[in-house]
Amino acid sequence: MIEEIDPKTIDRSPVRCEECDREMDHYNTFVSPTNVRRNICWQCLQRQEKGFFAHRSFHRGARHGNIPR
């Protein structure tokens, strides 16, 4: 049987994020196929989905007048 859990009502203890090393109350726990748990906070997850960690030399050329054709 599947048990539904509302994440807003669960009282979980704060854990340390593995990406930014901050202690957070709001986090996601990911389990790998080897049964290793990774706790990642919402802010790091949002940065990762947004593409925040793009290549350092990446820039949008059109903003500076370089339009490739």
pTM of the predicted model as reported, rounded to 2 decimal places? 0.54
- How high is the pLDDT of residue 46? 82
Task: List Cβ neighbours of 32 (8 Å cut-off, separation of 6 or more).
Answer: 38
Nearest to 20 by CA among 36, 44, 46: 44
pLDDT class for 12, splitting at 50, 70, 90? Answer: confident
17 and 39 Cβ atoms separated by less than 8 Å: yes
Q: What is the pLDDT of residues 19-68, one digit of tens each?
A: 888 898 888 888 989 989 999 988 888 877 766 556 666 666 766 776 66
> Cα–Cα distance between 43 and 17 in angstroms, integer?
10
- How high is the pLDDT of residue 16? 92
- How high is the pLDDT of residue 13? 85
